[in-house]
Chains A and B, each alone.
Chain A
Amino acid sequence: MFQPHGAETAAHGGEHAAEAAHEGFNAGETIIEHVSNSPIDHPLIHLPTLVGIDFSVTKHVLMLWLVAAFVFATVTWIVRRHLAAGRPVPSGAMNGLEFVVEFVRDSIVLPNVGKKWVHAWTPLMLTFFVFILCANAIGLIPVFDVLGLLNHWVIHPDHESFLGSVTHGGTTATANFNVTAALATITFGSIIVAGTRAHGFIQHWKNLVPHGLAWPIYILLIPIEIMGLFVKPFALTMRLAANMTGGHIAILAILSFVFLFTEMFGQAAAGIGVGLAVSVPLAVGISALEIIVVLVQAYVFTLLTAVFIGMAIHVHH
């Protein structure tokens, strides 16, 4: 998986290498298996099919739920504890939480949305920021991989069972295009809601195109504007998911050198040497970079949503 600990990955990969000993190590297949969602034929939890949609829970859905539960529980707990203490000055975790809230409000929402609407849109932006940040960050922490390693020696679960599938490895929920597409759909909806609340429904759509032009220009402009409407959320979707997937693939590709070199020279020493000299230091470096990417991507998603909402509210011609 994408964890910073090379040793664990080596252990995981070791299994694959052992399995694939007779047919050779296929780096591409292994990498894709690690970054893609678990197949719908073998979901973690079986749920019934309603209205033609299979509600079975796959790896990414489970991670999504875990992140949502984690964010909800942590934030509620911190705020409740602060309120129960009854102190006017926040302390400890509440201090950190207030820093995040103020940061999002003052440096993301306020400059883009403006004073009048800042309180209407800060909650949504905060939800985006905290959720994406946590989803990205939890993907970087190898919780399930460590559990899986323990399992491998202690419990020996059945590979098809829930425990066996879960401990096979965690993933980043935001590395799935469907998740980011859902988030961008919320952005798409909120742009329309923001424009409608600020200007009224009809006026919002009129605001999309600059007025006072000759009519032939409108024939060109209106389709372009409609496409632009969909392009914005699409760019958000691709950027977030591609960034989260890309880092993982880079780390996995570098770590797969170990197995490729082992195979090439026919001895484990070559692979371990390459691993110690090249793969592990590089993978650690990229993991450090990933920490920055995690922060920046959460920030950029929130910032761009705020910019788009601001554009719908403040229409200049």
Chain B
Amino acid sequence: MPDDEQGFSLARSLSFLQENLRRAGPAAAASYALVGAVLLLGGLGYALDAWQGTTPWFLLAGLLLGVVVGLYELAKVVWRS
């Protein structure tokens, strides 16, 4: 019986893929949060600008705040590991 350590084995490949995906989970969460924060807070800022007619100050503040929140989420993931 040849051992499973050598050659191509679908089960082994899948388990490695699974392991990699598991490790990638928090990183994926952080990266989506980074983009999501910029989009959400930037969008809120844009909406406030459109409402109040204060272009571009709320948009700028929203984008800046989005970067801060996104990077904070990223930093939390890095601190954990």
Interface residues of A (CB under 8 A from B): 106-107, 111-112, 224-225, 227-228, 230-232, 234-236, 238-239, 300, 303-304, 306-308, 311, 316
Interchain CB contact under 8 A, B29 and A227: no
Given the known inter-chain contacts A304-B28, A316-B80, please indicate yes or no for A107 contacting B33, CB distance below 8 A. Answer: no
Q: Taking CB as reference atom, which chain B residue is nearest A231?
A: B37
Residue of B nearest to A317 (CB): B79
Q: How many residues does chain B have at the interface if contact means C-beta atoms less than 8 Å apart?
A: 22
Chain B residues with CB under 8 Å of chain A are 18, 21-22, 25-26, 28-29, 32-33, 35-37, 39-41, 65, 68-70, 72-73, 80
How far is A234 from B73 in the complex, measured between Cα atoms in Å? Answer: 14
Q: Is the CB of A235 within 8 A of B33?
A: yes
Number of A-B contacts (CB under 8 A): 67
A107: contacting residue among B18, B29, B36, B72, CB under 8 A: B18
Task: Provide 30 A-B residue pairs closer than 8 Å at the C-beta atoms, listed in order of the A residue.
Answer: A106-B18, A107-B22, A111-B25, A112-B22, A224-B72, A225-B72, A227-B37, A227-B41, A227-B69, A228-B33, A228-B37, A228-B69, A231-B33, A231-B41, A231-B70, A232-B36, A235-B33, A235-B36, A235-B39, A236-B36, A238-B39, A239-B36, A300-B28, A304-B29, A304-B32, A306-B25, A307-B26, A307-B29, A308-B29, A311-B29
Residues of A within 8 A of B39 (CB): 234-235, 238
Which of B26, B29, B33, B40 has the most CB atoms of chain A within a 10 A radius of its CB? B29
With A236-B32, A239-B32, A304-B29 known to touch, is A231 a contact of B22 (CB < 8 Å)? no
Measured CB to CB, the closest approach of chain B to A122, in angstroms, equals: 15
Query: For B41, what are the chain A residues with a Cβ–Cβ distance below 8 Å?
Result: 227, 231
Do B40 and A234 touch across chains, with their CB atoms under 8 A apart?
yes
CB of B68 to closest CB in A, whole Å:
6
Cβ–Cβ contact A224 & B68, under 8 A: yes
CA A231 to CA B21, docked complex, whole Å: 22
Option from B18, B28, B29, B69 in Cβ contact (under 8 Å) with A224: B69
A300 to chain B, nearest CB (A): 7
Chain B residue with the shortest CB-CB distance to A111: B22
Nearest Cβ on chain B to A7's Cβ, whole angstroms: 36
